[in-house]
Amino acid sequence: MRLNLRFSFFALLQLVWVSLSPCYCEVLAQDTKPNIIVIFCDDLGWGDLGCFGNPVIRTPNIDRMASEGQKWTQFYVAAPVCTPSRAALMTGRYPIRNGMTSAKRAVLFPDSGGGLPPEEITLAEMLKDAGYTTGIVGKWHLGHLPEYLPTAQGFDSYFGIPYSNDMDKTGGPGYMAEVRKDTSYYPQFEHYNVPLMRNTEIIERPADQNTLTKRYTEEAIRFIEDNAKQPFFLYLPHSMPHIPLFASANFRGRSPRGLYGDVVEELDASVGAILDTLRDLKLDSKTLVVFSSDNGPWLSFETHGGSAGPLRAGKGTTFEGGMRVPTIFWWPGKILPSTKQDLGSTLDFMATFCAIAGGELPENRKLDSYDLSDVLFRDLESPRQEMFYWTNAQLHAVRRGPWKLHLKMREAVNYGKEVELAKPELYNLEHDISEKYNLADKLPESVELMLKLVDEHLLDIDPHEDMLAIPLRK
């Protein structure tokens, strides 16, 4: 009886919250436009945080953020690697639509030109039009030439590196070989001629990566303080824990998980400092903060890579470990603390932020973004019911409800060879989170229904002109 009474009490409490919690339009009617902060890690795995089950890495600030906010356990990026994932977040469009797939070599290699097409409308541009001051602190990776830098894509200010921290390598030992010889290997930042930029100017080269997380945090706090009296959008895409791994002196050698743990624990401290700043400035009740990652862990770097927990594989693959990422929404007094098992995606930031900011979505292009406001504020069901798993301009898989159908696969470690399947494979992700048990032969009707969903999606795709020469489905 005691358990039943307890259940009834919490069920009643939740009903009261839902009935009283304002929808996003009421939030806007009562308050000024809320601030929005996106903290975006690089190659952080689903299983790398305490609140997502890691038993060793200590993340008390992110864990507190999860307990005070909404933790989403089935949240996805639109691609399993850096550039297309970030392009999807920025535009609310699958990379096949905006041209920023992994096939677009111009963005993946810093010795060539190219970047996010100027005609794309970014989160920053949408929010700037809605009256926001916009800033980015961290890794961009959507074009390093002046016409593609953040200041040309709607951001008022930029401090960070223009692409991944392992690029422009100038010498020194091979990182993977050294890690496999000695798990305590610590790289030298001088071996990576990565520029640190402010707006369009290079202010340091090579960037001292030992202090990047620390300096990003200080710059983010400065941006918050400088814009405390007006609505702002801060995009904080960290360079870590992408390899090469670097941590500042106060965190190096501290974690029982080794260097990777040091790096993640410094990121946790960064989150804590930012949330403390919001509390000190009395901005916590006026600010939505989202924490997530650009893709899964880089498993081939062994102990210098992260963990996807029970999920299969990692970065570079369209298995769950490559595209399902740890995600938290935090807004004290506005968001009901809870754990969400609904589907969501970084694609949905565009529509969601537009709704809470009172902005306008672009009408002259196809968006793949759903407004999650009612999930955040009223505990209703997510409007996202499906997820399409694209990589390198190819559709590899689709999810609908608990069902995931693989059309093709990539080997599990380090961008492995693409595997052509003799026939599609079907998995029930709610019963089989690790994608171990193929049910296609037992459920042929379900396979056919999923294949129809694939066909409908491909008919709906209007590929970017750079993608026209690439068949969508081989």
Angstrom CA distances, 191 to 140, 213, 299, 408, stand at 21, 18, 22, 37
Strands 338-340 and 327-330, how do they pair? unpaired
d(CA 221, CA 234): 10
| Amino acid letter, 47 | G
CB 137 within 8 A of CB 155: no
Q: How many CB atoms lie within 10 A of CB 110?
A: 18
d(CA 90, CA 63): 26
Which residues belong to the active site? Answer: 82, 141
Contacts for 453 with CB less than 8 Å, ≥ 6 apart: 386, 398, 400
DSSP, collapsed to helix, strand or coil, labels residue 207 as coil
φ and ψ at residue 250, rounded to 5 degrees: -70, -15
Give the sign of the dihedral formed by CA 126, CA 131, CA 137, CA 143: positive
Angstrom CA distances, 373 to 19, 31, 434, stand at 15, 16, 30
DSSP, collapsed to helix, strand or coil, labels residue 292 as strand
Which residue shows structure tokens 């290079």?
202
d(CA 107, CA 143): 6
Give the sign of the dihedral formed by CA 353, CA 89, CA 315, CA 37: negative
Question: Percentages helix, strand, coil for the chain, rounded to the nearest 5?
Answer: 35, 20, 45
Which residue shows structure tokens 């996010």?
116
d(CA 448, CA 454): 10
